[in-house]
Amino acid sequence: MGERGASDFSKIFSPILADLLRVEKVRGRIQERVNKAIAHCRKSVSSTHRGDFAVSEAELERAKAELSKIARLSENSPQLLGWNLVNSAYQEYVEAALLLCVGKGAGMPSPKKLSAPPTAFLLGAADLVGELRRMVVNAIRSGETSEAEELYHRMVEMFEHISRFPLSDSMVPGLRRKVDQARYMLEETNALLAEERGRRELMRQMEETRRFMESKKPSR
């Protein structure tokens, strides 16, 4: 009885072990692709901030190719597609793609067009708010106040959309935290823009005063 039971367990557990070892091997290969995809996405983001859209697009294409390889590797192990590391790669891809669209003044792509899971799209869109703030700061430093104001309105628009989702963390892990962070960044950016408006108004008034004083000087 005991020997038979042990034999039965061997038949049960041996295939389970073999399958798990196979999945673990695939997971290692996927992790390599994830790391490459994230690296390409971050290069794309940096290139977009520099205004080098051609390089940004090329890096996005490389990231997309890595994500396609991840999907193929996961065909026989679909549980790996829900792995947090894979989701983070899709989030970074979405964030980089949306930022490039903002930089180029193009329309926003849908999750289907990016071949991204809806939850990854949501989280990537939430992260976009931080990159838009970075664009606002760069625009202010360059003296492009109108562009900074326009980018701020894009931040507000994105925040209004992502904050409408009444989803728990069990449904979209991390979304509530990202929404809170986005709200804080909006407040900080609004304060920064108000400060810049005040500075420019002061400069305008000082220039008007200088011109007025110059006009009152007696001519020689």
69 vs 37, 145, 159, CA distance in Å? 10, 42, 32
User: Could you tell me if 60 and 97 are in contact, meaning their C-beta atoms sit under 8 angstroms apart?
Assistant: yes
Q: Is the pTM of the predicted complex or chain greater than 0.75?
A: yes
Query: What residues does CATH 1.20.58.2140 cover in the chain?
Result: 1-115, 117-220
Q: Give tens-digit pLDDT for 98-155.
A: 999 999 998 889 999 999 988 899 999 999 999 999 999 999 988 888 899 999 999 9
Residue closest to 117 by CA, chosen among 161, 66, 82: 82
Q: Give tens-digit pLDDT for 53-105.
A: 999 999 999 999 999 998 888 776 666 666 678 889 999 999 999 999 999 99
Domain formed by 117-220, architecture: Up-down Bundle (1.20)
In the CATH scheme, what is the code of domain 1-115? 1.20.58.2140
